[in-house]
Amino acid sequence: MSQNINIEGGCLCGGVSIAAKAEKKSIGVCHCSMCRKWTGGPLVTIECGTDVSFTGEDNVSVFNSSAWAERGFCKQCGSHLFYRLKEANKYTMPAALFSGVDDFVFDHQIFIDEKPPYYDFANDTEKITGAEIFAMYAPKE
């Protein structure tokens, strides 16, 4: 069930401000090889659905990382801004961009089968494989 919690934040340099509605007070982590290459580690996120707006859009650059998804970043400071499923226009955004999310709960990890052995999280979370994620979200051909 969607709670739609208003959250606000922005990039490191302040060139991009974000207003979004978190779908729930939940933090997730993606361990896929693309996210790890993009961020230098696991991507820690909040699911924001389709209700996301940006101020400073001239500073937003987008990289099409696959046929169905794109990644946005600030072209001034390089802050990672979003992972977006193109067809559904659904945003997943780095949790650290937002203030006021300290009471959110880290409760799930995706692409757990791609997590390298050199780190682990102590939190007891739901663990979802890449195949399970593709079954849930990949466009049907």
Question: Greater confidence, 21 or 137?
Answer: 21
CATH number at residue 81: 2.170.150.70
pLDDT of 3 reads: 73
Q: 14-54, pLDDT tens digit by residue?
A: 999 999 999 999 999 999 999 999 999 999 999 999 999 99
The token pair at 63 is 């990289």
Q: What is the mean pLDDT of the chain?
A: 94
Structural domain total, the chain: 1
Q: Which domain holds residue 24?
A: 5-137
pLDDT of 106 reads: 97
pLDDT of 1 reads: 47
Under the phi-then-psi rule, with left for phi > 0, alpha for psi from -120 to 50, and beta for the rest, what region is 68? alpha
pLDDT of 19 reads: 98
Three-state secondary-structure class, residue 37? helix
